[in-house]
Amino acid sequence: MLSQQLFNGLVVGATYAIFALGFTVMFGVLGVVNLTYGFYFSFGALIALWLTQALNLPVWASFLIAVLASGLVAALVDSLLLTRLRRARAPELASLMVTLGATLLLYSLSSSLIGVEIRRFPAAAINASAFDLLGLRVSMTQLLIVFAAFAMVGGLVYLIQYTRVGLAIRAMAERPDTIALMGVNAGALARLVSFVSGSLAGAAGVLIGLNYNAIQPFMGEQMMLKGFAVIILGGLGDARGALVAGLIVGMLETLTAGYVASSWKDAVGFALLVLTLWIRPAGLFGRATVKRA
Amino acid sequence: MSGAALLEVSGLTLGYGRSDVIKGVDLRIASGAAVTLIGANGAGKTTIMRGLSGLLKPRAGSIVFDGHRIDGLPGHRVARLGVIQSPEGRQVFSNLTIAENLALGAWLLNDAREEARRREGVLARFPRLAERLDQSAGSLSGGEQQMLAIGRALMSNPRLLLLDEPSLGLAPLFIEEIFRIIEDLKREGRTILIVEQNASAALDVADYAYVLQSGVIEIEGPAAQVAADPRVVAAYLGG
């Protein structure tokens, strides 16, 4: 029973980790707290749902298209709203306010278009079969989630650590104003980073939607709060920390729901956050001094 | 000064907010020449460099590089034409390794063999960097970081090399070495613009000199002549 709970928690934690990873990449590289990030989580889930319902696409195809669509919307929003602010070197509060406004707009638009009731993937689209693995009951959906999470994290690590573009991204994280002197188009690179992190949010949205099979426009709001807890827990801007903290929060939530009460589930992440910050103000993996508070 | 102008700046006006920092500056850099721009702290030397590299949009005037108007172009497009700056304060990427910093310098080059060849050249020029390729640039001393910044700029094989305060804050031994390297680069035929507070060293290495004061060019001429100008001797050479 415990091992089953741990496994279920791992699956949920994997989606939290993807979500937090995208957020931390956006924050760490672009240096902005972009509050629209949570919306791409909702957007991915809604697009995937629509593709499966209206076009009868298989879940994996809906997943891939929804991931790309979320990335594109994120890149578009970033270049519309934040390019000018970056050019003017506006203070962080400006980007916070602009993206807060955009977030409200995006959520109201989507809820007025499709309503706020909870929607579900058609039963036929979800492969309900499950199999036993080392005494664990593993559903095909869980298998998809774990596989997708590994693929996305692996892909991101490869991009950032082993490609030329990744090198430029790491350089931009440190000195966004200097890379133009090397001939790097910083604007295009910022759009690419937004695309990548928006895709991660969208992917997490589809996967959580599949896991709980409950989708509605505001699901990204609650996830955003959780995302904040996770990235602060992991140490702001630290990708490794976001991954580990995401897994921990997902597992603890599932254990709480299983052994205490599911109404306590959502408090876990924040309780953990408070405890960690008491002991290590910079987060689990954060360096002693936080450069950008 | 002889030779065709590689860079021709006329009436350049630059500023931040409400005030103009640079008020109508003319500069001419001949192909293959080493030109220096000297002036006191705050005279606006770095502002000119930012303008030349496309990091700051001119308010008036024109910048023509090799026949192309480059004023108003974004920084990465200016770099693509071959105007490459080693900025004030080095600005190396301290979280990246030395090898990665050099690789970024070759961003515009998509030829691994040529990149390796240029890296050989840079490492031969700066043997201190060769020993520490996999260390983070943040672990280098100020003088070594300056070498890395110049090496990074050389990785793109610049047609015009802009050096902003290459000796600022360095120990005397490093200053000597940096100027020896600039001398080498000049002898190899590179076109260089050096912005310096260390006027005597800059005037030694340059062919032609401009003296910037409060945003305007006060004095210009062949470097030897400028070095002998009593106003320059009094204000910049500690005479």
CB contact under 8 A, B104 and A181: no
Residue A186 with chain B: CB contacts under 8 Å: 75-76
With a cut of 70, say whether residue B239 has pLDDT above it: no
Q: What is the mean pLDDT of chain B?
A: 95
- Nearest residue of B to residue A183 by CA position? B76
Between A269 and A106, name the one with better pLDDT. A106
Pick the residue of A84, A182, A238 with the most B CBs within 10 A to test the interface with B by mutation.
A182
With a cut of 60, say whether residue A60 has pLDDT above it: yes
Amino acid at A137: R
pLDDT tens-digit map of B168-212: 999 999 999 999 999 999 999 999 999 999 999 999 999 999 999
Question: Tokens 């970081």 map to which residue?
Answer: B145
Residue B103 with chain A: CB contacts under 8 Å: 164, 167
Residue B93 with chain A: CB contacts under 8 Å: 170-171, 174-175, 178
Average pLDDT over residues A147-176: 94
For residue A171, give how far its alpha carbon lies from the nearest alpha carbon of chain B (Å).
Answer: 6
DSSP per-residue codes, B118-141? HHHHHHHH-HHHHTTTTSBGGGS-
Which range among A89-93, B81-85, B102-106 shows the weakest confidence by mean pLDDT?
Answer: A89-93
With a cut of 50, say whether residue A292 has pLDDT above it: no
User: Measured between CB atoms, which of B107, B152, B156 is closest to A168?
Assistant: B107
> Is B5-91+158-235 in CATH node 3.40.50.300?
yes
With a cut of 60, say whether residue A280 has pLDDT above it: yes
**What interface predicted TM-score (ipTM) does this complex get?**
0.93
User: Helix, strand or coil for residue A188?
Assistant: helix
Average pLDDT over residues B87-94: 96
Average pLDDT over residues B64-86: 96
CB contact under 8 A, A174 and B96: yes
User: Measured between CB atoms, which of A171, A180, A183 is closest to B93?
Assistant: A171
Asked whether the beta carbons of B107 and A182 are under 8 A apart, the reply is yes
For residue B216, give how far its alpha carbon lies from the nearest alpha carbon of chain A (Å).
Answer: 25
Asked whether the beta carbons of B47 and B31 are under 8 A apart, the reply is no
Q: Both tokens of residue B175?
A: 């200053």
CB contact under 8 A, A182 and B107: yes
The neighbour count for residue A170, using CB atoms within 10 Å, is 18
Burial (CB count <10 Å: 0-12, 13-18, 19+), residue B68: exposed
Pick the residue of B57, B70, B101, B104 with the most A CBs within 10 A to test the interface with A by mutation.
B104
CA A13/CA A252 separation, integer angstroms: 9
For residue A21, give how far its alpha carbon lies from the nearest alpha carbon of chain B (Å).
Answer: 20
Model confidence at A127, pLDDT cuts 50, 70, 90, reads confident
How confident is the model at residue A258, as a pLDDT? Answer: 87
CA A266/CA A249 separation, integer angstroms: 10
Asked whether the beta carbons of B162 and B53 are under 8 A apart, the reply is yes
User: Measured between CB atoms, which of A171, A173, A184 is closest to B76?
Assistant: A184
User: Helix, strand or coil for residue A195?
Assistant: helix
Asked if B5 has any chain A CB less than 8 Å from its own CB, the reply is no
CA A122/CA A277 separation, integer angstroms: 42
User: Measured between CB atoms, which of B87, B94, B96 is closest to A181?
Assistant: B87
User: Measured between CB atoms, which of B76, B95, B103 is closest to A174?
Assistant: B95
CA B128/CA B31 separation, integer angstroms: 30
With a cut of 70, say whether residue A291 has pLDDT above it: no
CA A15/CA B173 separation, integer angstroms: 55
Between A278 and B45, name the one with better pLDDT. B45
Q: Both tokens of residue A106?
A: 């995006």
CA B147/CA A69 separation, integer angstroms: 45
Give percent of chain B above pLDDT 90: 92
User: Measured between CB atoms, which of B55, B79, B95 is closest to A183?
Assistant: B79
Closest CA to A204 of A158, A258, A246: A246
With a cut of 70, say whether residue B11 has pLDDT above it: yes
Average pLDDT over residues A70-86: 92
Residue A183 with chain B: CB contacts under 8 Å: 76, 79-80, 107-108, 156
Q: Both tokens of residue B4?
A: 């065709």
Amino acid at B136: S
Residue A184 with chain B: CB contacts under 8 Å: 76, 104, 107
With a cut of 80, say whether residue A35 has pLDDT above it: yes
Which range among A19-23, A141-145, B147-151 shows the weakest confidence by mean pLDDT?
Answer: A141-145
B24: which residues sit within 8 A by CB, 6+ positions away?
B11, B12, B13, B60, B61, B216
User: Measured between CB atoms, which of B93, B103, B105 is closest to A175?
Assistant: B93
With a cut of 90, say whether residue B217 has pLDDT above it: yes
Q: Using CB atoms and an 8 Å cut-off, which of residues 48-67 of chain B contact chain A?
A: 53-55
Give percent of chain A above pLDDT 70: 97
What's the N-to-C CA distance of chain A in angstroms? 42
- Nearest residue of A to residue B161 by CA position? A181
Model confidence at B227, pLDDT cuts 50, 70, 90, reads very high
With a cut of 70, say whether residue A287 has pLDDT above it: no
Domain extents in chain B: 5-91+158-235
pLDDT tens-digit map of A225-260: 888 888 888 887 788 888 999 999 999 999 998 888
Asked whether the beta carbons of B195 and B164 are under 8 A apart, the reply is yes
Domain extents in chain A: 2-217
How confident is the model at residue B116, as a pLDDT? Answer: 97
How confident is the model at residue A266, as a pLDDT? Answer: 83
Residue A189 with chain B: CB contacts under 8 Å: none
Asked if B45 has any chain A CB less than 8 Å from its own CB, the reply is no
pLDDT tens-digit map of B119-129: 999 999 999 99
* β strands within chain A, DSSP E: 130-133, 136-139
The neighbour count for residue A229, using CB atoms within 10 Å, is 24
